A and B are shown apart, each in its own frame.
Chain A
């Protein structure tokens, strides 16, 4: 049995447990011969970060364009501390859909183009089921990578079939932006938001009330999940069954459509995506906006915004069951077919670890996921608004983790789009979603 193999085996069996007799005899006999046949060359090569050879390994890391420079900085910092690993960065379009398609095309062809990829929070289950990515439980366990100080809810989004498939890199959940020059205390409930929006617009203080993402796309589902959660509704249970037909969901969607169809809302609400919302808010035409934390940088930048000094952020308004922000954002995953697992893992650890998150926070303005970092002096000094965000993103609601999520989401997009445009009532939409979503899950 080779040395390396024994080491890996030992790691995998870490903990007090010993392999059972039957399994042990099986595995040692099967690996005995194979091990000796393969221990010639490959042993010295990859991995063993401590005792690695001088050979420089290049890891290809693909992700959406990052105009903040944080990614470049992380790569530089990583290469400095890991002289044997070079990172070759491949910039992808920042648009989620375009990026997803490029990865799928490459992976479906069994490609080894990318060793590490940025992953949107909705991808892990799908990519895992497709066999494109590597589960990292053993690696996490072996190196004692600590996920316990991460904001709760985020790691769950990368957990599927009992394994962890990637690590999220920053906090990202829906929050409420408001105009501090007009509103003193942000609305605590959706009803309050409705009232305030009506009041301010009818008094002529501002053009429109609330802007949210209501075009027919994934963002609509994020917005809907927040309304649904705030009324205690659930879409999928822990075992992956569709339970969407419940009062909480109906009530949540009713609140949503009430606000969407309010006279104070922009007429073109059903065409709004994030960028249009930011444009409306930056032009000073809306009182409130539902957005991701990253929008803060846009609406407070004098180059792009007219309301720079009047921006406040708060948790989203609450329904009868509390306030929830939908979890979004990005993490990192490893290509299952990579030839350099250890090196890729080193980079993942760095990018999602304390150092990577810190650079991402200071240079990239992305709130860290590791809660300890909110006490970091440098970060507190550079990014004072993070403190507000922490409170706002306290209760995140993840989208269901399912390999068929995009299909389920598509149905929700179509039906909720009808609800917010006022062509169908919430009850009917929920019934349709229930039937169609069940059909998809049953068919899987």
Chain B
């Protein structure tokens, strides 16, 4: 009886998951469908495109009309550098904030948050001047620097809470064994913090990947543009090529999903329960 019940529960669970995914992914699915139609048919509301006459051309034209491959490379590069630098810089700071005793911690956390409290549009003009003056416009670094300032507060706060949640006992034990603060950090805490750092890394990565306004104004050269701006380049002044737009969305989303699929194992750890108990 109980076994049967468990089985039913399992089936229900999968049904729930399936439903959930359908709801979550339907808008994206609709882009896939739209991307395979002809522009003249975009008013159609059938759930499948005309399978006998699929239109793949937009997947080609997005690469031929504009340097879309270049946009993808730029986005990848900029987001990756932003991610790596942010995590490196803030994991040190966050560890100190979580574990070490010194004055001014609320100040540091608060100050970093203040930066996130201004709308991007208020910041964009001085940021533009700054990047311009140091000659980094139309380079990856021209966007990495502003993106880091958005990423740092988030990852600082996030990693701080994460480090705090790592059991203190492990570290104390390491210190008793003669590790310094830094060693305790690199040898003991860091490995345990991997899931949190990966999660934060994904957050920062996608945040940089999604940014539009700074990318639009700072990197205006086609060789340095990123995807969000790149996609808007397909639009005409008065027309929106929905099919190309959808094809571009699908093209950039699928590889990203695959990257996440590969990385996701890291965001779950067989964390600490065993270690602490032992």
Report which A residues bind B (CB closer than 8 A).
62, 64-65, 67, 90-96, 98, 101-102, 105-106, 108-109, 111, 113, 273-275, 278-279, 282-283, 285, 291-292, 294-295, 298, 302-306
Is A305 a contact of B40 with CB atoms below 8 Å? yes
CB neighbors of A among B210-224 (8 A): 216-217, 220-222
> Which residues of B lie under 8 Å from residue A96 when comparing CB positions?
237
Using known A-B contacts A64-B237, A93-B235, A305-B40, determine if residue A113 contacts B216 with beta carbons closer than 8 Å.
no
Which single residue of chain A is at the shortest CB-CB distance from B222? Answer: A91
B39 within 8 A of A: yes
> Which residues of A lie under 8 Å from residue B188 when comparing CB positions?
none
> Which residues of A lie under 8 Å from residue B239 when comparing CB positions?
274-275, 278, 295, 298
Q: How far is the CA of A279 from the CA of B232 in the complex (A)?
A: 18
Using known A-B contacts A109-B125, A278-B238, determine if residue A101 contacts B217 with beta carbons closer than 8 Å.
yes
Contact with A along B59-73 (1 / 0, CB 8 A): 000000110000000
Q: How far is the CA of A282 from the CA of B38 in the complex (A)?
A: 12
Using known A-B contacts A62-B220, A303-B39, determine if residue A93 contacts B238 with beta carbons closer than 8 Å.
no
Q: How far is the CA of A279 from the CA of B222 in the complex (A)?
A: 29
Closest CB in chain B relative to A304 CB, distance in Å: 4
Contact of B236 among A62, A94, A273, A282 (CB under 8 A): A94
Is A90 a contact of B220 with CB atoms below 8 Å? yes
Closest CB in chain A relative to B81 CB, distance in Å: 23
Using known A-B contacts A95-B237, A305-B40, determine if residue A101 contacts B132 with beta carbons closer than 8 Å.
no
Q: How far is the CA of A56 from the CA of B239 in the complex (A)?
A: 38
Using known A-B contacts A91-B222, A93-B229, A106-B128, determine if residue A292 contacts B238 with beta carbons closer than 8 Å.
yes
Q: How far is the CA of A98 from the CA of B213 in the complex (A)?
A: 9
> Which residues of A lie under 8 Å from residue B43 when comparing CB positions?
279, 283, 285
20 additional A-B pairs beyond A94-B236, A95-B232, A306-B40, beta carbons within 8 Å, are A65-B235, A67-B65, A91-B66, A93-B233, A94-B235, A95-B235, A98-B216, A102-B216, A102-B217, A106-B128, A113-B220, A274-B237, A274-B238, A278-B239, A283-B40, A283-B43, A292-B238, A294-B238, A295-B238, A295-B239
Q: How far is the CA of A266 from the CA of B137 in the complex (A)?
A: 46
Closest CB in chain B relative to A108 CB, distance in Å: 6
Q: How far is the CA of A106 from the CA of B137 in the complex (A)?
A: 11
Q: How far is the CA of A64 from the CA of B236 in the complex (A)?
A: 8
> Which residues of B lie under 8 Å from residue A64 when comparing CB positions?
237
B96 within 8 A of A: no
B268 within 8 A of A: no
Is B217 a contact of A279 with CB atoms below 8 Å? no
Is B42 a contact of A111 with CB atoms below 8 Å? no
From B132, B221, B233, name the one whose CB has the most chain A CB atoms within 10 angstroms. Answer: B233
Is A282 a contact of B40 with CB atoms below 8 Å? yes
> Which residues of A lie under 8 Å from residue B113 when comparing CB positions?
none
CB neighbors of A among B104-154 (8 A): 124-125, 128-129, 132, 137
Q: How far is the CA of A358 from the CA of B128 in the complex (A)?
A: 38
| 11 A-B pairs whose Cβ atoms sit less than 8 Å apart in the complex | A93-B235, A94-B237, A98-B216, A106-B220, A111-B132, A113-B220, A279-B42, A283-B40, A291-B238, A303-B38, A303-B40
Closest CB in chain B relative to A369 CB, distance in Å: 17
Is A275 a contact of B238 with CB atoms below 8 Å? yes
> Which residues of B lie under 8 Å from residue A92 when comparing CB positions?
220
Closest CB in chain B relative to A260 CB, distance in Å: 20
> Which residues of B lie under 8 Å from residue A91 when comparing CB positions?
66, 222, 233
Contact of A304 among B40, B66, B129, B220 (CB under 8 A): B40
> Which residues of A lie under 8 Å from residue B217 when comparing CB positions?
101-102, 105-106
Using known A-B contacts A105-B128, A109-B128, determine if residue A98 contacts B232 with beta carbons closer than 8 Å.
yes
Q: How far is the CA of A108 from the CA of B239 in the complex (A)?
A: 30
Is A90 a contact of B221 with CB atoms below 8 Å? yes
B84 within 8 A of A: no
Q: How far is the CA of A65 from the CA of B235 in the complex (A)?
A: 8
> Which residues of B lie under 8 Å from residue A292 when comparing CB positions?
238
The 6 closest A-B CB pairs, nearest first, are A274-B238, A304-B39, A94-B237, A283-B43, A275-B240, A105-B217
Using known A-B contacts A65-B233, A93-B233, A95-B232, determine if residue A105 contacts B125 with beta carbons closer than 8 Å.
yes
Q: How far is the CA of A90 from the CA of B238 in the complex (A)?
A: 20
Is A67 a contact of B236 with CB atoms below 8 Å? yes
Contact of A108 among B125, B229, B233, B240 (CB under 8 A): B125
> Which residues of A lie under 8 Å from residue B65 when comparing CB positions?
67
> Which residues of B lie under 8 Å from residue A98 when comparing CB positions?
216, 232
Contact of A109 among B132, B220, B222, B240 (CB under 8 A): B132
Closest CB in chain A relative to B17 CB, distance in Å: 35
From A105, A108, A303, name the one whose CB has the most chain B CB atoms within 10 angstroms. Answer: A105
Closest CB in chain B relative to A98 CB, distance in Å: 6
> Which residues of A lie under 8 Å from residue B237 when comparing CB positions?
64, 94-96, 274, 294
